[in-house]
Structure 1
Amino acid sequence: MRGERTPGREPITMPWLWVAVVGIILIGIPWYLPPGTLGVTLFHVPAWFWVSILAAVALSAVCCYACLSLWDLEDHEDWSDVDDPARDGEGSLR
């Protein structure tokens, strides 16, 4: 079912995340300007600089969203056998 989170699902398997990351990277690189073009300036800084900064912030936001909201490790069976030094032998936190 769409919108339902599968336990242990990793964001790397979501195609829309890859499209967003590649799109943000393509927007952030000023490949669309001819070499040596200053273009529009904002506060005496070329506009491509501000576009690159906004793209970097957007990429960070997408990565944070993917890690914090889409990555579900709570009931992941692959992690059940990992020794966690913060837990005692009975599974509870110290």
Structure 2
Amino acid sequence: MDQRRSQDGPRREPIRSPGLWIAMAVIVLAGVPFYLPAGSTRPLLLGVPYWVAISVAFTVVFAAFVSWICLRRWNVVEPEEQAERGRGEAA
């Protein structure tokens, strides 16, 4: 994988994007099965209560989403680094 991805485009910080925060909040809230009936353990999925499977699935979704944000949406190259790189290519 290309390790210089952050230097390919303009500076972007996803922390300033409210849509990403909303998506993260929805994933976290969906992973906490408060919306299921209290004390329910049936049906079992692979030997565990279904609410555990729901929680694990949304944990994986959250990890994948945060990984996608870090790999594709985050570009925080510092202006000094970018200027230094430009000088190196010009020489």
TM-score by length of 2: 0.70
Tell me which stretches of 4 or more aligned residues in structure 1 moved more than 4 Å. Answer: none
Unaligned residue ranges in structure 1 (runs of 5+): 1-5, 82-89
Match of 2:22 among 15, 19, 26: 19
Counterpart code for 2:24: V
Structure 2: 5+ residue stretches without partners: 1-8, 82-86
Match among 50, 61, 67 for residue 64 of structure 1: 67
Q: TM-score, normalised by structure 1?
A: 0.68
Q: Cα RMSD over matched residues?
A: 2.1
Post-superposition Cα deviations, 1:21-49, rounded to whole Å, max 9, x if no partner, equal 01110110011123322132112211111
Name 2:57's counterpart in structure 1: 54
Residue identity opposite 2:43 in structure 1: V
Question: As a proportion of its length, which structure holds more helix?
Answer: 2
Alignment: residue pair count: 75
